[in-house]
Amino acid sequence: MILFFNRAQTEAVPYRPIDKSTSPQDSPSRLHPNSSHWYNPPMPKRERVYKAEGVVLRRQDLGEADRLTTIYTRNLGKLRLVAKGVRKPRSRKAGHLEPFTRVALMMAKGRNLDLITQAEAIETFPDIRSDLMKLGHASYLIELLDRFTVEEGQGNLALYNLLLNSLNRLSTGSFGASGIILYFELRLLELLGYRPELSNCVGCGAEIQPQSQYFSSHEGGVLCPKCGRSRREARQISLPALKLLRHYQRSDFETAMTPRVSEEVQREIENTMQAYITYLLERRLNTPEFIRRIRNFETPDEGNSSR
Ligand SMILES: [Zn+2]
């Protein structure tokens, strides 16, 4: 049910700037983005209330008793929603909106942000909450997903499933956390269009030979020794570390987990991934914010899309 915050819809009904030459039947209240009429158009009933399933990423206190809750949903991607009265002692929603909780939601269109009217936990991952290490690892996954995604009204089912599967794997503890995290990082990057190139040199295109190489965060992949030596920002990567990254990249989760990894290679991979992710996040900061601002400017209230 992709009805709200939908880019396709907002494009279909573009925001028309105030035009002084507008014909009289277009009253100013229909056109002026600051008029309450514009913000609160009469809407068909089925669109005022909608359902979604999602995982709570984070929350933040709002006013006296409310909370702003960020949820990654199955069908609508990331949403920021207001949970009214959730900090009151007798709130029925409170326990269902804790971070990591998989929750079924009922929402209502709000003036600016939509409101959570009902919340029912589906999975709470108690094993993650009771174990500080698991909690730390799960928090990292959540933060990574949060920082790499923007609210755009479109779900990414593969990414949602990756999140849920990874939380489940951390929760049961049947696999090592470092493997779960590396698998999550590589899949997330792939699903969002940042798959590191590991087979051919990103400098000259030559096929990578079985020897130590370089990795360039700037260029998004591995560099042959010849190209790598000429790039100051490139970092060395050993053959075992590169082999393991490639194995993860082309395997399903269970297959990816099979090789035993030395602590040294593990450390090397973690450092390489952190450098790449940090580089991407720093570079990303401006663009999504810029796009979001433009989109907000063009569609002062997403509710208009129904008109
Ligand atoms: Zn090269």
Q: Where are the domains of the chain?
A: 7-186+288-306
Spatial separation of the C-alpha atoms in residues 12 and 305, rounded to whole Å: 8
- The proportion of the chain whose per-residue pLDDT surpasses 90, expressed as a percent, equals 65
Helix (H) or strand (E) holding 105: strand 102-108
How close is the Cα of 261 to the center of ligand 1, in Å?
A: 27
How close is the Cα of 205 to the center of ligand 1, in Å?
A: 6
Is the CB of residue 218 less than 8 Å from the CB of residue 233? yes
Q: Could you tell me the fold of the domain covering 7-186+288-306?
A: OB fold (Dihydrolipoamide Acetyltransferase, E2P) (2.40.50)
Identify the band that residue 290 occupies on the pLDDT scale cut at 50, 70 and 90.
low
Closest alpha carbon to 104 in 57, 156, 52, 154: 52
More confident residue, 28 or 45: 45
Other Cβ atoms within 10 Å of 199 Cβ, number: 12
Is the CB of residue 208 less than 8 Å from the CB of residue 226? no
How close is the Cα of 202 to the center of ligand 1, in Å?
A: 7
How close is the Cα of 206 to the center of ligand 1, in Å?
A: 6
Mean pLDDT of 115-122: 95
Identify the band that residue 260 occupies on the pLDDT scale cut at 50, 70 and 90.
very high
Is the CB of residue 43 less than 8 Å from the CB of residue 109? yes
Other Cβ atoms within 10 Å of 87 Cβ, number: 16
Spatial separation of the C-alpha atoms in residues 97 and 66, rounded to whole Å: 12
Q: What pLDDT score does 237 carry?
A: 97
How close is the Cα of 146 to the center of ligand 1, in Å?
A: 34
More confident residue, 214 or 38: 214
How close is the Cα of 276 to the center of ligand 1, in Å?
A: 19
Helix (H) or strand (E) holding 78: strand 77-83
Mean pLDDT of 146-162: 92
The string of DSSP codes covering 4-17 is SS-HHHHHHSPPPP
